[in-house]
Structure 1
């Protein structure tokens, strides 16, 4: 074992020296150029060397990459050297990508893409397109990343650039891995292996084998994982490729971790950790630190596990790396629970569940989007091929017609006229079908929007409280929390359950109105009775905040409306008033009798609403959700639902508000018809 560690240390030193060789060689060329009497910073050779040196520093000294790229950009701009400028902003984009700033990375890549297109440098444009796809993947927009990679594959096939064809297919495989669609990912990796065989590039093959080893480890195919990673490690060690070697060591540690061989997992993780000391690759280091935290946790070394998990959590939050935050929070939750620190455990459990829910919700949507994008792409490609075949067939027909014209001019003329008539009929039929398709597409988009909003609210406002409740019950059931500690959470659970009940009522009413259409069944209703019932129903919430609710509706305030819908409107408006009125406030419900209708008002002495919010709170697609004075939650559906129900009952609704003084909601209801009470009595 001693000899093994000594040899490993010697190998690491040799590899680092070899890696340094490329950097030293470029520095030597730069120094030699600068020593020339005719040297100028505006020399294109000097600018190219700066860009190459920056690329060499990318995973070793990221700040040096930025500094050199910035210099190259400045000098290129001064002499209008477009190629050097383009490569410099690619380097700047890579710097921002590695720092987790996707917005600036994409901005630089887009600028470089436009410039490369103007230069007709198609190979450079293809490289930039790959960078863009990778950045959108880091940002979580898998659908757009897939679209970019698919278009890049087409360009690579046209240019016969097998290297970029291999890289982009491998990036698509990585998208499927992130969605845990391992079978499709494996299909793409096998395709990449065939391309690499044509390239006869052992480095590209070794990189693919490393990624396949990680995939096999996730799939539980550990023998395949170990075979692939050992093959790639031998290549990286021999050729001294340090960044990939660090990744390969990590994957080997991951494979042992899946086998629960924690000692060997930690050994290979440590080898990767030593190499990362010479690298500057935050994303790669987060994955490594998470793996080490899990290995120490498995070997019952909780303190070391916590140290690595906290470090990974710090790095993940610094670059807003959601997947890293999710893994760290799960590990820290287990560690806190093991220590009996239930408050911290609950905090990390809520963080883990919140991020997990967000990723799960967005990932499901992205999965569907990716599938739709791929299907659309294949459909478009098939349509293009069919269109080309039709065009070729039409050209052949024209040739035949030209030959026939020489023989029988009159017959051909008749055929052409007939063909034009048929074509016009087909075009008319096609336009009709296209209009039908556009209408159906619009309807489908509305249905999808309704579904997405419904599931988003269910996931955000229902799964969170329910998940926290499940976590507490599990801790209590497993005996990790005593009865006294459990009872301390009862007030919070009660508020959560009240919110769930109220949210469900709104969701069911809103969902029915969106899916099936809101059906209104008017009858004679007593508005003052509905108000009094809702005051009684919400009295406990008012008492908790010392809020006084006053009804000044005259007796027998009778209206001709749907009682269930008006009940929902009154409950939502009073609930909103309670939510945004501070303690010791007053809520007043009044009714003013007009000629043909009642004007109902619900006034509060709350925090008020600003002018911008007043403009959008009743809109159908508005998702304004604001926490109340005691952090009460809402769904963002209540007011749009109220507006729809009031208008279905031939009324209007509006709001008046002054910030920090209070808000008044008004709505009108048609007064009961004189003839109606006769049919509403016992005879009915």
Structure 2
């Protein structure tokens, strides 16, 4: 039995993609026109990322080129938000191409840039990137790591009351448990996902929940319950014109009817699924329909037509019809296998080149770090030497200044003392002079005495 689950959007952009339409084409034209005139600023980063998102599913290689340009410009601008957005988008585009190591590397770089942020926007982006990292691990079959990241994302979005994020993480955790064959636990998460989808009034989420609940019941062997949920999902998909999901559901329902031996109903659903899958060129789905139709013609115990409304075939014709579809199935399977091998080879080559570039980048980084360390050591030695010289100069200047101060003080003291001596000397001389005058005034001169004695002797 060929039952296909329907997953949530494989990766989350920071800004959700809208479906490609005529308005989307106008948006691409508008962005291209603006990019011709915008300068190297944050607006250009946003437009480069917007254009990359618009081209993601039609031309992921161009999206990678655009986001790399946005990343380099963000680095030049030292704009953390632009870098985080660009890394996140590069993770998505590489994931779409199946380049999971590169995708994981980009998501982790984006996560490191936003996880320490405290704003609501940063925390929402952190939850988104945790979910994206989980998706990469899921695609690589590392289910325990995927669970770890999905649960972290679920916890954070629950704290943020981001119900759409919570719903997606619940669905993803359920699918991991389904891959681990723990269908009962998967159903617990699917029903919680369905409850959130109903609260959000999101037909798309409800449709996904119905498909995955039906798939779990089919794996548990409860085909009637599985059919009930598949038919609920098909109703929503037909109302929304979702051809991809309709093709999947027609195949799932047809496979279940084959198991229940309702061969006419099985044919109607499988053939409708083949027509839609072929019109979409969804070769993997076409392969599944070929296989199921081959099994149906082989197992049916009633005549079946060769097409809807066609003539009924007899037993031999049905055997040949079974062989016809089986050959087409084998041929397409081998073609897809060969293409997948080529893709795997390209991926391995790309991974090898990526790892080589990473190793070279790390070597260059280590070399740059060693050069930077040596330069830092040199700078420190220069700084210490200059500081030492400055200290010596300052010390010597201080010594000279102190000596000059002492000399100046001594000079002032000597001058003061000299002044005192001069004053004392002047005072002494003045005293002597004064005493001399007094003495001259009091003592009769020799000439006066002689003159008077001569006069008396006459």
8 Å contact from structure 2 (residues 247, 277) kept in 1:
yes
- Aligned partner of residue 240 in structure 2, secondary structure: coil
Structure 1 unaligned residues grouped into runs of 5+: 1-54, 409-684
Q: CA deviation at 1:228?
A: 1.0
- Aligned partner of residue 58 in structure 1, secondary structure: coil
- Indicate which of 139, 147, 159 corresponds to 1:186: 147
8 Å contact from structure 2 (residues 163, 200) kept in 1:
no
Q: CA deviation at 1:268?
A: 1.5
8 Å contact from structure 1 (residues 93, 106) kept in 2:
no
Kindly provide the CA deviation profile for residues 599-639 of structure 1, in whole angstroms up to 9, marking residues without a partner as x.
xxxxxxxxxxxxxxxxxxxxxxxxxxxxxxxxxxxxxxxxx
Question: In 1, distance between residues paired with 2:155 and 2:169?
Answer: 11
Kindly provide the CA deviation profile for residues 447-474 of structure 1, in whole angstroms up to 9, marking residues without a partner as x.
xxxxxxxxxxxxxxxxxxxxxxxxxxxx
Question: In 1, distance between residues paired with 2:365 and 2:158?
Answer: 30
Aligned to 2:211: 250
Q: CA deviation at 1:221?
A: 0.9
Aligned to 2:198: 237
- Aligned partner of residue 176 in structure 2, secondary structure: helix
Kindly provide the CA deviation profile for residues 327-363 of structure 1, in whole angstroms up to 9, marking residues without a partner as x.
4443334334435221222221332244245436745
- Indicate which of 92, 104, 107 corresponds to 2:62: 107
Q: CA deviation at 1:56?
A: 9.1
8 Å contact from structure 1 (residues 250, 269) kept in 2:
yes
Question: In 1, distance between residues paired with 2:38 and 2:104?
Answer: 34
Q: CA deviation at 1:299?
A: 2.7
Q: CA deviation at 1:238?
A: 0.8
Aligned: 1:163 with 2:134: no
Question: In 2, distance between residues paired with 1:365 and 1:220?
Answer: 31
Question: In 2, distance between residues paired with 1:344 and 1:135?
Answer: 35
8 Å contact from structure 1 (residues 116, 122) kept in 2:
no
RMSD: 4.8
Q: CA deviation at 1:407?
A: 6.5
8 Å contact from structure 2 (residues 170, 190) kept in 1:
yes
8 Å contact from structure 2 (residues 111, 129) kept in 1:
yes
Question: In 2, distance between residues paired with 1:230 and 1:144?
Answer: 34
Q: CA deviation at 1:229?
A: 1.2
Aligned to 1:224: 185
The structure with the largest alpha-carbon Rg is 2
- Indicate which of 311, 331, 334 corresponds to 1:350: 331
Question: In 2, distance between residues paired with 1:273 and 1:287?
Answer: 9
Aligned to 1:262: 223
Question: In 1, distance between residues paired with 2:183 and 2:73?
Answer: 48
8 Å contact from structure 2 (residues 28, 54) kept in 1:
no
Kindly provide the CA deviation profile for residues 353-403 of structure 1, in whole angstroms up to 9, marking residues without a partner as x.
442454367458747976996898699679968976995697478647854
Question: In 2, distance between residues paired with 1:383 and 1:85?
Answer: 30
Aligned to 1:63: 21
- Indicate which of 145, 152, 157 corresponds to 2:103: 145
**TM-score, normalised to structure 2's length?**
0.59
Kindly provide the CA deviation profile for residues 192-237 of structure 1, in whole angstroms up to 9, marking residues without a partner as x.
3344355442321221111111121122111221111111211121
Residues 293-308 of structure 1: pairs in structure 2 closer than 5 A: 293-308=254-269
Seen in structure 2, the aligned counterparts of structure 1 residues 376 and 134 have a Cα distance that, compared at 3 Å, is same
8 Å contact from structure 1 (residues 209, 231) kept in 2:
yes
Kindly provide the CA deviation profile for residues 96-147 of structure 1, in whole angstroms up to 9, marking residues without a partner as x.
656xx3x2x5435744764686586764664465444334433444444344
Kindly provide the CA deviation profile for residues 615-665 of structure 1, in whole angstroms up to 9, marking residues without a partner as x.
xxxxxxxxxxxxxxxxxxxxxxxxxxxxxxxxxxxxxxxxxxxxxxxxxxx
8 Å contact from structure 1 (residues 226, 255) kept in 2:
yes
- Aligned partner of residue 277 in structure 1, secondary structure: helix
Aligned to 1:202: 163
Seen in structure 2, the aligned counterparts of structure 1 residues 181 and 394 have a Cα distance that, compared at 3 Å, is same
Kindly provide the CA deviation profile for residues 247-305 of structure 1, in whole angstroms up to 9, marking residues without a partner as x.
22221112112112111112212222222234365555554444334333333334444
- Aligned partner of residue 205 in structure 1, secondary structure: helix
**Higher relative contact order structure (alpha carbons within 8 Å, sequence separation ≥ 6):** 2
